[in-house]
Structure 1
Amino acid sequence: MSQDRWRKSTRSQGTANSNCVEVRVSPWRKSTRSQGTANSDCVEARTAGTGFQVRDSKLGDGSPIFDLKTADFTALLQQADL
C-alpha cells in the first residue's frame, strides 16, 4: 500500500465550494543506515515530478527543500556511499 498522501490548497478550505484539484505528495524517506543509531539525523528524500527532493531531517518541515534532477540525485547517492 502506498504511503503517498493527497494535499488540497488551503484556499479551498472552509468555502461553500471546496472542490479543488488535489496533488499527491510522496512521503519523506530516510536511509535505513540512520535508523536505530544514537545520531539518526540524516538527509531525507522523496520523489517529485521528474526528479527528487531532499531535506535535512533534523529540521523536518522547517527544512529548506532542494529539487534535484534524477541524474544529480544518483550522483549524490554514489558519492555518499563512498
Structure 2
Amino acid sequence: MDIYNQREHYWQQAQEQADRTCASGYDAASRYLYQLFEAYQFKADEAVFEQRFKRFVVANNSRKALLNRLKSLLL
C-alpha cells in the first residue's frame, strides 16, 4: 500500500493510537508518523508534513511520553 496515497488514513490511525494513551498506542502512533514522514520526504513534500505534524503535536501536547518518541521528528 502506498502510504502517501493513504496519508489521511495514516494520520487518522496515528491520532487514534495516540488517543489510547498507553505505551503500545504511543509506539504505534510514532511508527505511523515516521512512515508518514518518509512518504512525504519521498514525494518532496516535507513542508506539508511539517504543518500537519505541528497540528498533531499541538493536539497531543500533554502526552509527553508520546512526544519523547517523536523527538527526531521535532527538529
Instruction: Tell me, yes or no, whether TM beats 0.5.
Output: no
Higher relative CO (Cα under 8 Å, sequence separation at least 6) belongs to: 2
Structure showing the higher helix proportion among its residues = 2
Q: Normalising by the residue count of structure 2, what TM-score does the alignment of the two structures yield? A: 0.29
Question: Which has a greater percent of strand?
Answer: 1
**TM-score, normalised via structure 1 length:** 0.27
